Structure formats: C-alpha cells, structure tokens
C-alpha cells in the first residue's frame, strides 16, 4: 500500500554532513508518522529519529541528538534526515519507515524502504 525509497547515502569523512531523503508513494494519506532506523554489520537495527506527519513532533535517539534533524514535506510525501558532525560510529545502512494511523499506539512500523548505505571514514 505504501512504498518507500531512500536516497542520499554515500561516503563522507568524520565531521562532515549528509542529507538523506525518503519518498513515499501509494496510500500515504493514512500515514501517522515516519522514521529513520539504521543497522551496522553484525548489530541490531536501531532507532534513529521519528516525526509525526500531522504536527511534526519529533523524537531522537540519544546517540544522534543535537547532530541529526528529521523533517518532512507533506506536499512531496517525503521525509529527510540531515546528518551533521558525522562519526565513524554512524556508519550503517539507513532505513526509512512509515507508521499508519492504525498503529499510532504501537512501537511497530508498517512499511520499510530498502535502505541506503552511509559510510563515515576517520
């Protein structure tokens, strides 16, 4: 029902910046919130940031708070993740996720993108 496509990943030196985009298509009018997760090799997928589609309220993981900013463009059905002062520890595959209204009171997300690689060199 909803398709998510991430873009903007790449290789950047420590201290640099990168901006990720996630375009949503399909039945997007049921979207309650969108989020970014990441997974490094050999590690569990972890939460990065989330934003409510209506109102724009945000939440961040402590590890990225103050460095990353999540935002959305309702007209374009797109969510962004501005990443500043990147660290080697930020290296991971970053995934975009969407939550429908029916899952508003759940920690689960309903749709996931294929991911985009972010590599931070030291």
Q: Is the pLDDT of residue 98 over 90?
A: yes
pLDDT in tens, 13-29: 999 999 999 999 998 88
Q: Is the pLDDT of residue 38 over 90?
A: yes
CA-wise closest residue to 82 among 25, 24, 16: 16
User: To 5 degrees, how large is the angle CA 80–CA 45–CA 7?
Assistant: 30
pLDDT in tens, 46-97: 999 999 999 999 999 999 999 999 999 989 999 999 999 999 999 999 999 9
Q: How many CB atoms lie within 10 A of CB 101?
A: 14
Per-residue H/E/C for 11-58? EEECCCCEEEEEEEEECHHHEEEEEEEEECCCCCCEEEEEEECCCCCE
Q: Return the percentage of the chain with pLDDT > 70, whole number.
A: 100
């Amino acid at each position: 029902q909803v398709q998510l496509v991430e873009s903007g990943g790449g290789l950047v030196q420590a201290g640099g910046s990168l901006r990720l985009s996630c375009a949503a298509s399909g039945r997007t009018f049921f979207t309650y919130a969108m989020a970014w997760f990441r997974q490094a090799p050999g590690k569990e997928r972890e939460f990065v940031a989330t934003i409510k589609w209506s109102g724009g309220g945000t939440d961040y993981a402590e590890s990225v708070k103050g460095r990353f900013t999540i935002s959305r463009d309702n007209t374009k059905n797109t969510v962004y993740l501005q990443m500043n002062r990147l660290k080697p520890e930020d290296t991971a595959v970053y995934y975009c996720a969407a939550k429908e209204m029916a899952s508003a009171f759940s920690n689960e997300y309903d749709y996931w993108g294929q991911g985009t690689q972010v590599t931070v060199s030291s």
